[in-house]
Chains A and B, each alone.
Chain A
């Protein structure tokens, strides 16, 4: 009798050891950020202090925008619920510190991907969710119809601590124009100062200009000049050194874009499980083991598409239908003349 008990215990112990071993290897695959996120039950996401179309809170505190949707996609993939995101509004100045000091886990705040940011300050850019470029807004009655009409002494309002500040200098220097930079920490103050006539022009990313124009007292009196003076690929950023988390964020974004490419939408995602196209089946988790490679279950991508929608839906909902930039321009799929092109999910 005692022998039996002893033997049984040893078997149980053996299984226990085996079990812990396997769970540990599973856990080892998980990243620290992923583990913390699952423990907390929400994704910590840094966003802007209010940029319509990208990240903007309504009166009830609900965040919407294409930047917001990236975080929602990650929440859907990791936690199974796109609403489980805690948003932290950040100024341009605070954003990187908030990420590197562990205040947030994803920075999705219309942030330009540059070499020095990527390499130098402990950040990793995971992709591009909006291709933008810097432009200028002027008063329609000023008679300025092109950037070549600017003259020495022009004053330009913008946000401090952005690539805009550097591009502006490069641009005016190349034209040999002496200019007066007036830089504010918050976008609302830039708009107010430009609106009051403190500056002749307001310069930032064109999407930003289109979005902020709505805030001016007479939006119709202002226009954005046609020229684009810089490349501004905007995308989500994560901390350097957690490659699993980096992959999760990257492929959450890629899933949204690829879903649009294959015509998978939030409405038809479930029915796509029986599609004839293996690429589509992989995308909705009906084939392959792609989730396991990321330390997630196999329905992760399906949840993203069902709860957040594909990139096209997100763009339409946040940017096109709100009248900010109805024309997708470069942010159209590569198959439709744009430059949105993501590696295949397989």
Chain B
């Protein structure tokens, strides 16, 4: 009986192993026939190509592995920016679609229908080349607030130059830990004595005061470096100093977040509409304010509906960021599966690493979102 039960699974396993075995054997034989060697040793070789934008120190004298890290971090950067903005825009538009105001509701609906029905790659091209056409050359850029310069060569912002940055970071971490304790304490107090504590204002206060103290006592010091224009030749200029965000990053993040936000907006709308009217009425009838109704009754239930499909959108956004290669944003696909692959010719190795990386990124997001979903799920006692 037991044997009969596991037999199909055993057979499936054998088939899977055989299929994989066949393909890897086949690949091996073919590669041998064509004189291609296999190995990951190239990762430690000098890459000898440069990348225009990198979060860590990198140039061509570093290894291919370092180039991989550069690409990976750039992918993560644009994904995180995209996810944050897509969520903010998505929530706002989603709620706007539920508005009783006809104008707001229609505007949100048109936005959603427009942006989700145009292929993403086209939108990326549109934003990139539209940006390149519309943005001024560095010498003609009007400063925003005197220190920000949005030009065709990038968005130049003031950079912070830190002294004892680590102490500052520790103080922020300390503030966060303190906030967690305050919250726990407030919860207990409410359960035991029924007294509510103004947790939010205490948290904000902590977040300001502790890092501020680090300036006075910890020797933390910060100065601002403002970008200044520099002439490269008679007609060509750029900015020196400060921080530079390439236009590729800006247009890619913009396209990704505007596109994904439409889907998130629909998730939010579905979630809020999925909470039955009776819940709101019941909450109002026991004397909760409209704010409390939203925070304590509607949102917790709506989130249960919103989170799973939104997770999909986060995953999509991360994977869609690989379209970066089309507009020269140095993400993982462009740097590693593009330039590095071309320079080494190691297609199988590099593509396998890249696939595995995207898989890991996606699974990490999945695990986190599943954890969050479980946390807010109904806890039946």
Contacts and interface: CB of A to CB of B under 8 A. Distances in A.
B238 A153 contact: yes
Nearest to A140: B235
5 contacts: A97-B347, A153-B230, A183-B330, A196-B132, A196-B152
Interface of A is mostly: mixed
Given A185-B326, A193-B132, A153 B232 contact: yes
A169 B230 CA distance: 22
B34 A122 contact: yes
Contact of A240 (B34, B132, B137, B247): B34
A166 interface: yes
A72 interface: no
Interface range on chain B (Cβ under 8 Å from partner): 35 or more
Given A117-B345, A142-B233, A198-B132, A93 B153 contact: no
B248 to A, nearest CB: 8
B325 interface: yes
Given A183-B334, A198-B153, A139 B235 contact: yes
Contacts of B36: 100, 121-122
B364 interface: no
A162 B49 CA distance: 10
Interface in A66-125: 92-93, 96-97, 100, 116-117, 120-122
A141 B34 contact: no
A144 interface: yes
Going nearest first, the 6 A-B pairs with the smallest beta carbon separation are A161-B342, A143-B234, A121-B345, A122-B34, A196-B132, A122-B36
A197 B328 CA distance: 15
A186 B70 CA distance: 22
A189 B326 contact: yes
Contact of B49 (A93, A141, A155, A166): A166
Contacts of B153: 155, 198
B341 to A, nearest CB: 7
Interface in A114-153: 116-117, 120-122, 139, 141-144, 149-151, 153
Contacts of B132: 192-193, 196-198
A208 B341 CA distance: 23
Contacts of A282: none
A160 interface: yes
B341 A197 contact: no
Given A162-B342, A198-B153, A169 B49 contact: yes
B221 to A, nearest CB: 27
A313 interface: no
A198 B238 CA distance: 11
Interface string A227-243: 00000000000011100
A96 B153 CA distance: 33
Interface string B314-353: 0000000000011110100010001101111111000000
A141 B234 contact: yes
Contact of B339 (A142, A161, A239): A161
A166 B240 CA distance: 25
Contacts of B325: 160, 185
A185 B335 CA distance: 11
B338 A93 contact: yes
Interface string A179-192: 11111111001001
B102 to A, nearest CB: 40
Contacts of A189: 326-328
Interface of B: 31, 33-36, 48-52, 60, 129, 132-133, 137, 152-153, 230, 232-236, 238, 240, 246-248, 325-328, 330, 334, 338-339, 341-347
Given A117-B345, A122-B36, 4 more contacts: A186-B326, A189-B327, A198-B247, A200-B233
Nearest to A184: B328
A260 interface: no
Contacts of B327: 184, 189
Contacts of A197: 132, 137, 152
A154 B235 CA distance: 12
Contact of B240 (A153, A192, A239): A153
A143 B234 CA distance: 5
Nearest to B132: A196
Contacts of A299: none
A160 B52 contact: no
A297 interface: no
A118 B339 CA distance: 18
Nearest to A183: B328
Contacts of A183: 52, 328, 330, 334, 338-339
A253 to B, nearest CB: 22
A161 B338 contact: yes
Given A165-B49, A182-B52, A185-B326, A198 B152 contact: yes
B261 to A, nearest CB: 26
Most chain B CB within a 10 A radius of its CB, from A92, A143, A182, A189:
A182
A182 B52 CA distance: 6
A96 B343 CA distance: 11
Contacts of B133: 196
A27 B36 CA distance: 27
A180 B34 CA distance: 37
Contacts of B35: 122, 240-241
A239 B34 contact: yes
Contacts of B326: 184-186, 189
B345 A120 contact: yes
Contact of B236 (A142, A173, A193): A142
Contacts of B346: 121
A142 B344 CA distance: 36
